[in-house]
Amino acid sequence: MLRQEGSIAQNIKLKRTRDAVTSAIQAAIDRLTQVNKIPDNGLVLFCGENFDTNEFKCFMFSPPEKVPIFFYRTDKSFHTEFLEDMIEESDVYGLVIVERDYATIGILKGARVQVLEEFEGFVPGKHMMGGQSQRRIDRIIEEMYANFLKEVGEKVNAFFLPFVENKKMKGILIGGPGYAKKDFYDGDYMDYRLKKLVLQPLFDVPDQGDAGLKELIMKAQDLLKNQKYVQVENLLEEIKYHLAKDDGLVIYGIQDIRKALQMGAVDSLVVYDEPGSELEKLAQEAENYGAKVYVIGDELPDGEWVKKTFGGAIGKLRYKVY
Amino acid sequence: MSQKPHLNLIVIGHVDHGKSTLIGRLLMDRGFIDEKTVKEAEEAAKKLGKESEKYAFLLDRLKEERERGVTINLTFMKFETRKYFFTVIDAPGHRDFVKNMITGASQADAAIIVISAKKGEFEAGMSAEGQTREHIILAKTMGINQMIVAVNKMDLTDPPYDEKRYKEVVDTVTKFMKSFGFDMSKVKFVPVVAPAGENVTQKATHMPWYNGPTLEELLDQLEVPPKPVDKPLRIPIQEVYSISGVGVVPVGRVESGVLKVGDKVVFMPAGKVGEVRSIETHHTKIEKAEPGDNIGFNVRGVEKKDIKRGDVVGNVQNPPTVAEEFTAQIIVIWHPTAVSVGYTPVLHVHTASVACRISEITSRIDPKTGKEAEKNPQFVKAGDSAIVKFTPIKDLCVEKFREFPALGRFAMRDMGKTVGVGVITDVKPKKIDIK
Ligand SMILES: Nc1nc2c(ncn2[C@@H]2O[C@H](COP(=O)(O)OP(=O)(O)OP(=O)(O)O)[C@@H](O)[C@H]2O)c(=O)[nH]1
Ligand SMILES: [Mg+2]
């Protein structure tokens, strides 16, 4: 099949794209010919060149769970969506932020917060109006508002019901500025199965988008104590607090952390995710010493800070070590 | 439209301190609200058993606002004094709607801050979480220097109309504003009772100890800011209407340059070009708009989906800058722990609010000398000033403060609070195709 694709690729007009696709297909064929038996969980193969960095990458592996489908695609990016579920923690929380004319729908899985959709409703404000038809216009505005809430409900249903059906949805958080969230919850805009999952109270959240979702989670942290996102964020906030106070309760640098571990002084440790590195070893050691270890990547706002500023590992101490 | 000079005035302050009531009263006293609207507001207030709120109902027209007794959206109204033609923007005081207040403040030349003198209410507004405090900071950040402080609810002080309480409020607010760099010669105070109209357009009958000007007289002491007509055109968009039979009508305030009917303009970050077919302000058609004008303008060649709040309109020859990354000097005014690389607050610049990630903290600045105190610090905390680089999470139009002040200053907010303010010193532009 790949050979056939290879000859189709000869028809691509842009030379650069044609070359990239052809070499990706050839690389895939080369790798496949080395495999004599398909593993039980199936086989996954990604090949391609990144035009920005001119890097050519090819990955072949057998995933931790059975690959559910046969899928072949030539595209701008790697299609990992079928695999994501395998590495995801299965608990999912639905997130909704709704106000009069704007809404964000998202999910929280483990340490990942994801915006599914952010959209605006065309509910006009007040200032273009006045005069004769004032009341009529006010009524129309209220109607548009109700229609917008309906649209939000429909989208929430479409996004969240599949999670309910495969029993992954643990709860739904609703937030937003002012009263629209209450109107949304009270009105019958959501499917009854989703409504049952809504956690109380509804939260006051002034922002939308990614920032709004993160605020919603942090405001609901008491309900989400066991979520990795909340735990790591709280730990990092605590670390920053001690850093700002400069009270010696924070430790970084692989050498210093190792020393503190040996003294049994490390309470918890945040390590940047870098497979095969010294950091990975450190995380393993820390676990052996009984410290709470959180491995984080760039999905958290502070991932980059931990990596760049502290060489990828920073911990909170039980007591001052020097 | 009136030949008098035009000023944009925003009314700000903590929730329920009486902003809408004060403006409702002022406009009604001077006959700027038609009879029908007044009747309708009175009836609606009666029906909800809230007769005392009839003045606020003149501005709070949404069902949600009336039932809950709070302002949510900005209301724009016009009125005239002896000297000026005003567009007055009634802002919400509720903490959840601070972003709407910022949008309004970014379009204003002057502000009335309404502060309740009632025991407990004044203190709530000035507390660390209070919006009297936060709005003062944000108004200054958005470039408002002229301010009228209306000390309201003087009938509810203990004892009523207490001069001592008034002085206490004035002193506390003066101290706070000074610490934020206000030139106090441009800040004026007046004690008022909004529903009774005391010191609004008429001298108070219950406060003989006050001999100063009324609120209306203070409005005539405001000054018109200079108009940067020679600079390239910049209009941050506040709202977009799509009117059937007419087309797309973006609404916003001209910050610099001149807009004329027939001009070819570009909407950034979309890069879409359109032709201006008509310009109107307060339902009056005009041929050209200048800095300070609040306008709606009809454009041919663009669609509703190409434009949204926070976009900026400019000339095709000199389009607004979309930032790949920008450098700013910030002051952290409130943060429980520390601000570090990766921190992603929501930045409010002109009418836009976009989350921006701090990608580098270049240096910490000594507030006394203005010189670098530490290079590449691990973090900065409340009270610190720093030079940082921001990467916007979504396309965002900003400019250097030096070139376009209104598009180069911002407030940083996170978790519903203002964590800092800043000015933009440099912008690395992103390439956008103009189509
Ligand atoms: N006694 C007395 N009541 C007042 C005065 N000013 C306002 N009020 C009342 O205070 C309440 C709030 O007034 P509003 O004008 O809605 O306050 P606001 O500042 O516009 O509130 P938001 O827009 O929601 O922030 C209403 O019930 C008013 O009638 C005053 O001077 N004296
Ligand atoms: Mg109000």
Residues A2-11 have pLDDT tens digits of: 777 777 777 7
Q: Say if the Cβ atoms of B64 and A127 lie within 8 Å.
A: no
How many distinct helices (H) and strands (E) make up chain B? 9, 24
Residue B251, chain A, CB below 8 Å: the answer is yes
Q: How confident is the model at residue A128 (pLDDT cuts 50, 70, 90)?
A: very low
Instruction: For an interface test with A, give the residue of B340, B353, B384, B418 to mutate (most A CBs within 10 A).
Output: B340
Minimal-distance CA residue to ligand 1 atom 32: B153
Which amino acid is it at B18?
G
Query: Residue B296 is encoded by which pair of tokens?
Result: 């709606």
Instruction: Give A41→chain B minimum CA distance, Å.
Output: 38
Rounded alpha-carbon distances, angstroms, from residue B91 to B58, B99, B137, B236:
14, 10, 15, 18
In this structure, which ligand is nearest to the CA of B156? 1
Q: What would the mean pLDDT of A201-209 be, rounded to a whole number?
A: 94
pLDDT in the model for residue B127: 95
Closest atom of ligand 1 relative to the B153 alpha carbon: 31
Q: What would the mean pLDDT of B241-252 be, rounded to a whole number?
A: 85
Residues by chain with Cβ below 5 Å of ion ligand 2: B 19-20, 71
pLDDT in the model for residue A106: 96
Nearest to B98 among A127, A134, A206 (CB): A206
Q: Does A254 score more than 80 pLDDT?
A: yes
Q: Does B376 score more than 90 pLDDT?
A: yes
More confident residue, A75 or B400: B400
| Percent of chain B topping pLDDT 90 | 75
Q: What would the mean pLDDT of A43-55 be, rounded to a whole number?
A: 78
Residue B37, chain A, CB below 8 Å: the answer is yes
Q: Does A70 score more than 90 pLDDT?
A: no
Q: Are the beta carbons of B176 and B184 closer than 8 angstroms?
A: no
Strands B264-268, B187-191: pairing is unpaired
Q: Does A129 score more than 50 pLDDT?
A: no
Compute the distance between CA of residue B362 and CA of residue B29 in angstroms, rounded to an integer. 54
Compute the distance between CA of residue A78 and CA of residue A20 in angstroms, rounded to an integer. 14
Write a three-state SS string for A214-225: HHHHHHCCCCCC
Give Cβ neighbours of residue A38 (< 8 Å, ≥ 6 apart): none
Q: Does B240 score more than 80 pLDDT?
A: yes
| Percent of chain A topping pLDDT 90 | 45
pLDDT in the model for residue B2: 61
Nearest to A210 among B338, B393, B414 (CB): B393
Q: Does A280 score more than 60 pLDDT?
A: yes
Q: Are the beta carbons of A311 and A253 closer than 8 angstroms?
A: yes
* DSSP structure class, residue B193: B
In this structure, which ligand is nearest to the CA of B49? 1
Query: Residue B286 is encoded by which pair of tokens?
Result: 């005009």
Nearest to B335 by CA among B424, B423, B413, B422: B413
Q: What would the mean pLDDT of A72-88 be, rounded to a whole number?
A: 67
Chain A residues touching B246 at Cβ < 8 A = none
More confident residue, B170 or B367: B170
Out of A73-87, B69-83, B87-101, B263-277, which region has the weakest mean confidence (pLDDT)?
A73-87
| Percent of chain B topping pLDDT 70 | 100
Q: The whole model's pTM is what?
A: 0.81
pLDDT in the model for residue A52: 74
Q: Say if the Cβ atoms of A125 and B239 lie within 8 Å.
A: yes
Q: How confident is the model at residue A130 (pLDDT cuts 50, 70, 90)?
A: very low
For residue A187, the CA-to-ligand 2 centroid distance in Å is 26
pLDDT tens figures, A287-318: 999 999 999 888 787 888 899 889 999 999 99
CA B290 to chain centre: 19
Out of A244-248, A310-314, B250-254, B417-421, which region has the weakest mean confidence (pLDDT)?
A244-248
Instruction: Give B89→chain A minimum CA distance, Å.
Output: 9
Mutational test site, ligand 1, from B11, B21, B215, max ligand atoms within 8 Å of CB: B21
Compute the distance between CA of residue B313 and CA of residue B319 in angstroms, rounded to an integer. 8
Q: Say if the Cβ atoms of A134 and B355 lie within 8 Å.
A: no
Q: How confident is the model at residue A48 (pLDDT cuts 50, 70, 90)?
A: confident
Chain B residues touching A205 at Cβ < 8 A = 96, 416
Residue B68, chain A, CB below 8 Å: the answer is yes
Q: Say if the Cβ atoms of A240 and B416 lie within 8 Å.
A: no
Report helix, strand and coil shares of chain B as percent, to nearest 5: 25, 35, 40
pLDDT in the model for residue B172: 97
Compute the distance between CA of residue B27 and CA of residue B33 in angstroms, rounded to an integer. 6
Range from A9-13, A83-87, B142-146 that averages highest in pLDDT: B142-146
Instruction: Give A63→chain B minimum CA distance, Å.
Output: 32
pLDDT tens figures, B145-183: 999 999 999 999 999 999 999 999 999 999 999 998 899
Q: What would the mean pLDDT of A181-193 be, rounded to a whole number?
A: 94
Q: Are the beta carbons of B418 and B334 closer than 8 angstroms?
A: yes
pLDDT tens figures, B278-299: 999 877 899 999 999 999 999 9
Beta strand ranges found along B61-200 (DSSP E):
75-80, 85-90, 110-116, 146-152, 187-191
pLDDT mean across residues, chain A: 85
Kindly report the backbone phi and psi dihedral angles of residue A158, in degrees, each rounded to the nearest multiple of 5, phi listed first.
-60, -40
Report the b/e string of B133-157 with b at 16+ CB within 10 A. bbbbbbbbbbbbbbbbbbbbbbbbb
Compute the distance between CA of residue B79 and CA of residue B223 in angstroms, rounded to an integer. 17
Q: Is B252 annotated as a binding residue?
A: no
Minimal-distance CA residue to ligand 1 atom 9: B18
For residue A176, the CA-to-ligand 2 centroid distance in Å is 19
Query: Residue B58 is encoded by which pair of tokens?
Result: 């003149």
pLDDT in the model for residue A71: 73
For residue B26, the CA-to-ligand 2 centroid distance in Å is 14
Q: Say if the Cβ atoms of B63 and A138 lie within 8 Å.
A: yes
| Helix segments in B18-162, DSSP class H | 19-29, 35-47, 54-57, 63-68, 98-105, 121-126, 131-141
Q: Is B39 annotated as a binding residue?
A: no
Instruction: For an interface test with B, give the residue of A98, A207, A208, A247 to mutate (most B CBs within 10 A).
Output: A207
pLDDT in the model for residue B354: 95
Q: What angle do CA A181, B308, B277 make, to 5 degrees?
A: 135
pLDDT in the model for residue A131: 46
pLDDT in the model for residue A127: 52
Compute the distance between CA of residue B277 and CA of residue B263 in angstroms, rounded to an integer. 8
Q: Are the beta carbons of A297 and A253 closer than 8 angstroms?
A: no
Q: What would the mean pLDDT of A127-131 be, rounded to a whole number?
A: 47
**Pairs across A and B, CB distance < 8 A:** 127
Chain B residues touching A244 at Cβ < 8 A = 337-338, 379, 381
pLDDT in the model for residue A294: 92
Q: Say if the Cβ atoms of A211 and B345 lie within 8 Å.
A: yes
Q: Is B332 helix (H, G, I), strand (E, B) or coil?
A: strand
Nearest to A215 among B72, B239, B415 (CB): B415
Report the b/e string of A187-218 with b at 16+ CB within 10 A. eebbbeebeebebeebbbbbbbbbbbbbbbbb
pLDDT in the model for residue A46: 82
Q: Does B207 score more than 80 pLDDT?
A: yes
Q: What angle do CA A279, A224, A227 make, to 5 degrees?
A: 20
Pocket lining for ligand 1, CB < 6 angstroms: B 13, 15-21, 52-53, 56, 70-71, 92-94, 114, 152-153, 155-156, 193-195
How buried is B50 (Cβ within 10 angstroms: 0-12 exposed, 13-18 middle, 19+ buried)?
middle
pLDDT in the model for residue A302: 85
Strands A55-61, A44-50: pairing is antiparallel
Nearest to B315 by CA among B270, B348, B274, B284: B274
Q: Are the beta carbons of A159 and A103 closer than 8 angstroms?
A: no
